[in-house]
Amino acid sequence: MAFWLYKSEPFKWSWDQQVKAGAKGTHWDGVRNHLAKLNLMAMKKGDQGFFYHSNEGKEIVGIVEVIREAYPDPTAEAGEPWVVVDLKAVKPFKRP
């Protein structure tokens, strides 16, 4: 199992929103960097990672888990090579 770091600006997607997505989770979209895309493609179901709030807070607030491996990003323009993975919240940190 590998461990990853997922960075999100809380005003766009917060830990609370990730938790509200529940067991069905949500896709991690909007990645538009080729190195980051390769990392998404390397993620396997069951891999876990830290959920990091950037800009506001600048803290790791919880742990997420990959529940679906890479597939085409539904927010990308047709023909663009971007991918997403699905994540679910596993547990928050008592102290970020």
Q: What is the pLDDT of residues 24-79, one digit of tens each?
A: 999 999 899 999 999 999 999 999 999 999 988 899 999 999 999 999 999 999 98
Residue of 2 and 43 predicted with greater confidence: 43
| Residue 56: predicted pLDDT | 87
What count of other Cβ atoms lies within 10 Å of the Cβ of residue 40? 21
**Domain 3-92: assigned CATH number:** 3.10.590.10
Whole-number Å distance between alpha carbons of 36 and 40: 6
Is the Cβ–Cβ distance between 86 and 67 less than 8 Å? yes
